[in-house]
Amino acid sequence: MRLDKYLKVSRIIKRRTVAKDVCENGRVSINGKVAKPSTTIKEDDIIEIQFANQLLKARIINIANHVNKEDAKNMYEIISGEEDKE
């Protein structure tokens, strides 16, 4: 699955266009490497997202194309940072 779509489906970021912009601005890295919106993600990858003034670090647990709001939190595990959303 594409990184920008995963960020939207998992509800880490509310809109795919915002997720795409965040990736294009170099604010998202996967396993320590800056990632583009089209980067393919897989389970156990570590995502780091630089929000305005904090860093969110999470591990991908599950990848699914469609989930309901309650199951979205089961797609990742927060390692450090708060769950602020843009």
Which residues lie closer than 8 Å to 74 by C-beta, 6 or more apart? 61, 62, 67
Res. 82 pLDDT band, cuts 50 70 90: low
> Over 60: is that where the pLDDT of 5 sits?
yes
pLDDT score at 15: 95
pLDDT score at 81: 79
pLDDT tens per residue, range 22-79: 999 999 999 999 999 999 999 999 999 998 888 999 999 999 999 999 999 999 999 9
CATH code of the domain containing 29: 3.10.290.10
- Rounded Cα distance between 73 and 61, Å, is 10
pTM: 0.87
Query: Does residue 21 belong to any structural domain of this protein?
Result: yes
Query: Does residue 85 belong to any structural domain of this protein?
Result: no
- Look up the domain containing 37 and give its range: 3-80
